Amino acid sequence: MKLQFLGAAGTVTGSKYLVETDNRKILVDCGLYQGVKHYRLMNRQPLPVSYDELDAIVLTHAHLDHSGYLPLLVKEGFTGPVYATPGTCELCKILLPDSGFLQEEDARHAAKHGYSKHNPPHPLYTEQDALRALKQLKPCSFGQIHKILPDLSIRFRPAGHILGAASIEVFDGSHMLAFSGDVGRPDDLIMYPPESLKRADYLVVESTYGDRIHEEMDAAEAMAKAINETAAAGGTVLIPAFAVGRAQMILHLLERLRAENRIPKLPVYLNSPMAIKATEVFHRFHEKHRLTKDDCRKIDSMTHYVRTVEESMALANQTFPGIIVSASGMASGGRVLHHLKHILPNHRNTVMFVGYQAMGTRGEKLVSGATSIKIHGQNIPVKARIKHFDAFSAHADSSQIIQWLGSIKTPPKQVFVTHGETEAAQAMAEKIQIELGWKTCIPKLTDKAELQ
């Protein structure tokens, strides 16, 4: 087998790995670059492999930095199968068309304000392209070996992280190449712990938190404290959260804190059409996560689901205290921006970030102490309190990754450390060398490796 790194090299987004055998090519993950402009522009550069050379695509999970490039390949002409777990397929049905819609919005916005290089500006892909891509999804259950090509089989193992998320093993008959995907934490509130890999001759491992250990703190208590202080000041708490996974976890936590009388019974709003749809998918996949039917019912009865644009506008202008959960999680787009414009200039309010904040995003700037922030072309002063609870992240920290890798008994011939900013990948690689004694390297974009 040959392996080529076509994304998530030196950064956390754009995951794409080309696996080649003598006469076949598959892509493991097909993700968009997100975050700073330099990376987003890379979505427009052609891949070194053309759509018609690819026999299949395999997805670790539905997050757009792992799946969001798929509609573009389909638009270009890729007609092959896309293998993913049933949970991932369901979530892709929500995330990909929305991504197409947002690409169209961006192009319209660029046309109106005249800042695109293309005239007229054209979207990376459209909602229609994304809907077409969905038809190529082939759901594959966890745990079984799926023969996808004459000389290649794959197996999905639960990786925690989000609903449907998997680590993927690829066999060519003699070697096994494993991809960690995004690895969840063993103590996640709503996902089960990641299942460990038993064997990997070669391994690609993520390093989002490669240089960090999640704070040992009672995150629920810290969150309750911040909510109580904000409520006492008559303010509103805004929680930007990833629509899939984190939003559901935060609602579950809020429901528990309310039931235990640890926070006041302020109204709780979920203002993200995508998060509302994702919550419905959670209700359908009970055996795949820790939330029971009863937990889901309690979330439903606590939460005001904000569906229409009119309701969303009314909520943004509301002045009495409440808790608003809205997407996107890094404040890079979506309805949360309208809330930030109203929430940030008032010192009574609190904005609570609960997940990873990629470099260059508004979320990263806010948690790093920015005193003003640009939203829709306006400079918004930051007077509200900004909190960041890494403890709610959906990614394992470096020690949890080491622990997860520990069950592989025979050392892999080579470990490729990807999906991390440079320092994080470096720290993760060193930790694997020192604690497990395995050979590691940090591939650069378009690097190729022969796996023998």
Could you give the CA distance from residue 77 to residue 137 in angstroms, rounded to a whole number? 15
Q: Enter the tokens of residue 20.
A: 């080649």
The least CB distance from residue 224 to Zn ion, in Å, is 27
For every residue of 249-283, DSSP letters joined together read: HHHHHHHHHHHTTSS----EEEE-HHHHHHHHHHH
Our CA dihedral for 98, 132, 2, 418, rounded to 10 degrees, sits at: 0
Please, what is the minimum distance in Å from the beta carbon of residue 172 to Zn ion? 26
Nearer to Zn ion, 29 or 182 (CB): 182
Binding status of residue 419 toward Zn ion by CB under 5 A: no
Containing 37, the helix (H) or strand (E) segment is: helix 37-42
Amino acid at 251: L
- What are the residue ranges of helices labelled H in 398-445? 398-405, 422-436
Q: Which stretch binds Zn ion (CB under 5 A): 88-96, 180-188, 292-300, 310-318?
A: 180-188
Point out which span in 178-186, 200-208, 280-288, 399-407 binds Zn ion (CB under 5 A).
178-186
Of 338 and 395, which has the nearer Cβ to Zn ion? 395
Report in angstroms how near the CB of residue 381 gets to Zn ion at its nearest.
32
Output 62 or 299, the one with its CB closest to Zn ion: 62
Tell me the window of 50-58, 122-130, 174-182, 326-334 that interacts with Zn ion (CB under 5 A). Answer: 174-182
Q: What is the DSSP-derived secondary structure letter of residue 46?
A: P
Q: Which is nearer to Zn ion, 90 or 182 (CB)?
A: 182
Q: Which is nearer to Zn ion, 104 or 182 (CB)?
A: 182
For the bound state, the minimum distance from the C-beta of residue 128 to Zn ion, rounded and expressed in Å, comes to 25
Q: What's the min distance (Å) between Cβ of 162 and Zn ion?
A: 6
List the structure tokens of 411: 């050392």
- Please select the residue that binds Zn ion; options are 16, 24, 40, 63, rule is CB under 5 A: 63
Using rule CB under 5 A, residue 169 touches Zn ion: no
β pairing state of 385-388 and 350-353? parallel
CB of 61 to Zn ion, least distance (A): 6
- CB of 2 closer than 8 Å to CB of 20: yes
Which residue has 């394992």 as its token pair?
A: 396
List all residues 6 or more positions away from 315 whose beta carbon is below 8 Å from its beta carbon: 269, 271, 306, 324, 339
> Is 206 among the residues that bind Zn ion (CB under 5 A)?
no
100, 130 contact by CB (below 8 A): yes
| Identity of the residue, 160 or 443, whose beta carbon is nearer to Zn ion in the bound complex | 160
Tokens of 16: 């794409």
- In the bound state, the residue with its beta carbon closest to Zn ion is 63
Closest CA to 74 of 139, 134, 138, 133: 133
Give the residue ranges of DSSP H helices in 285-335.
293-302, 309-317
Q: How far is the CB of 191 from Zn ion (least distance, A)?
A: 12
Q: Which stretch binds Zn ion (CB under 5 A): 43-51, 58-66, 111-119, 189-197?
A: 58-66
Piece of the chain touching Zn ion by CB under 5 A; list 55-63, 87-95, 196-204, 313-321: 55-63
Question: Does 185 engage in binding with Zn ion (CB under 5 A)?
Answer: no
**Residue from the set 182, 201, 211, 364 that interacts with Zn ion by CB under 5 A:** 182
Is the Cβ of residue 182 or residue 295 nearer to Zn ion in the bound state?
Answer: 182
DSSP state of 116: -
Q: Are 243 and 274 in contact (CB under 8 A)?
A: yes
Whole-number minimum distance, CB 101 to Zn ion, in Å? 21
Binding site for Zn ion (CB under 5 A): 63, 182
